[in-house]
């Protein structure tokens, strides 16, 4: 049932890849995507740089069962192996996660208000003017639920990483990757009709990021990775949408949800028959 209603497992895998890349391999994500996550997480860039550098240091010196030279051991003595002291100074991991929720929810509202309001003004402007008592509560509910999803995503993804640091007493890339998957559970807060689209949206970013990570690690030849993979994915998606919308004299229109079909009809000036 979970898989039918939006693939939460796929969403968790995508969440793992995206948040791991944000912390450990930011070069594998578009700069605009990095800025978006950084704004929602509410931390300055130097904090994430410090988290990444510490995790890389720990993994190089303590990971994979490698022998740590005596000089390196001496350097590590008295040095913290987790970023909690500078990530949330003066707060416990749980306290930090919970106290960030109100500000995170406010930032999420700023994201979703235009996402819901602009299409409503374009497509349902007549109904919005004549029957606002019917449409406005639905808009408010959708905005509130989606903002709660994004807030929970940030809290679960980064809160679970912090919990992993506290339990293991060390920060490393593999630990960060293992813990961030919890953020994918936030998709269960969204409507069933939106879970699939969220999973597919994250899948495209996660797939591109995974390929770029493999290239950076030397596991995949760079020649096999197109320079603008994001453009290719976007073009393929647009082709699929337009095929279903326009080919066959409109016989495939039933594959669209009504709200998306209304937007497409508005954009292309279609009466809705073909």
In a domain, 98, yes or no: yes
Task: Say how many domains are in the chain.
Answer: 1
In a domain, 245, yes or no: no
User: pTM (2 decimals)?
Assistant: 0.80
What integer pLDDT is reported at residue 80 of this predicted model? 66
Higher per-residue confidence, 113 vs 133? 113
Residues 6+ apart with CB under 8 A from 152: 185, 186, 189
Reported as a single tens digit per residue, the pLDDT across 150-188 is 999 999 999 999 999 988 888 888 899 989 988 888 888
**Token pair for 162:** 């912090």
CA atoms within 13 A on the CB side of 198: 26
Mean pLDDT of 202-213: 87
Mean confidence (pLDDT) of the chain:
82
Any idea which of 12-21, 30-39, 264-273 has the lowest mean pLDDT? Answer: 264-273
In a domain, 153, yes or no: yes
In a domain, 19, yes or no: yes
Confidence check: pLDDT of 267 > 90: no
Residue 220, domain extent: 8-225
CA trace torsion 260, 262, 268, 269 (10° rounding): 180
In a domain, 238, yes or no: no
What integer pLDDT is reported at residue 2 of this predicted model? 39
Confidence check: pLDDT of 228 > 60: yes
In a domain, 266, yes or no: no
- List, as one string, the DSSP characters of the chain: -TTTTT-HHHHHHHHHHHHHHHHH-GGGS-HHHHHHHHHHHT--HHHHHHHHHHHHHHHHHHGGGPPPPHHHHHHHTT--SSTHHHHSTTS-HHHHHHHTHHHHHHHHHHHHHHHHHHHHHHHSHHHHHH-HHHHHHHHHHHHHHHHHHHHHHHHHHHHHHHHHHHHHS---HHHHHHHHGGGGGGGGGS-HHHHHHHHHHHHHHHHHHHHHHHHHTTSS-GGGS-TTHHHHHHHHHHHHHHHHHHGGGGTTGGGS-HHHHHHHHHHHT--S--
In a domain, 267, yes or no: no
In a domain, 252, yes or no: no
């Amino acid at each position: 049932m979970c898989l039918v209603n939006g693939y939460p497992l796929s969403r968790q895998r995508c969440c793992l890849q995206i948040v791991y890349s944000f912390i450990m391999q930011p070069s594998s994500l578009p700069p605009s995507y990095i800025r978006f996550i950084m704004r929602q997480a509410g931390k300055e860039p130097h904090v994430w740089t410090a988290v990444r550098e510490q995790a890389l240091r720990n993994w190089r010196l303590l990971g994979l069962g490698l022998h740590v030279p005596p000089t390196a051991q001496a350097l590590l003595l008295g040095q913290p192996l987790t970023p909690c002291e500078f990530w949330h100074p003066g707060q416990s991991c749980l306290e930090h996660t919970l106290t960030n929720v109100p500000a995170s929810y406010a930032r999420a509202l700023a994201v979703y208000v235009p996402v819901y309001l602009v299409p409503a003004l374009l497509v349902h402007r007549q109904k919005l003017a004549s029957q606002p008592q019917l449409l406005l509560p639905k808009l408010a509910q959708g905005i509130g639920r989606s903002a709660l999803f994004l807030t929970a995503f940030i809290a679960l993804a980064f809160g679970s990483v912090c919990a992993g640091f506290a339990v293991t007493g060390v920060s490393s890339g593999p630990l960060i990757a293992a813990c961030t998957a919890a953020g994918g559970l936030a998709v269960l807060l969204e409507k069933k009709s939106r879970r699939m689209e969220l999973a597919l949206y994250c899948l495209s970013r996660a797939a591109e990021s995974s390929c770029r990570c493999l290239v950076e690690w030397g596991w995949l030849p760079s020649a096999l990775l197109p320079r603008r993979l994001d453009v290719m994915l976007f073009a393929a998606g647009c082709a699929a949408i337009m095929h279903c919308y326009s080919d066959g004299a409109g016989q495939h229109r039933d594959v669209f949800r009504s709200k998306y079909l209304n937007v497409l009809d508005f954009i292309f000036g279609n009466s809705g028959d073909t």
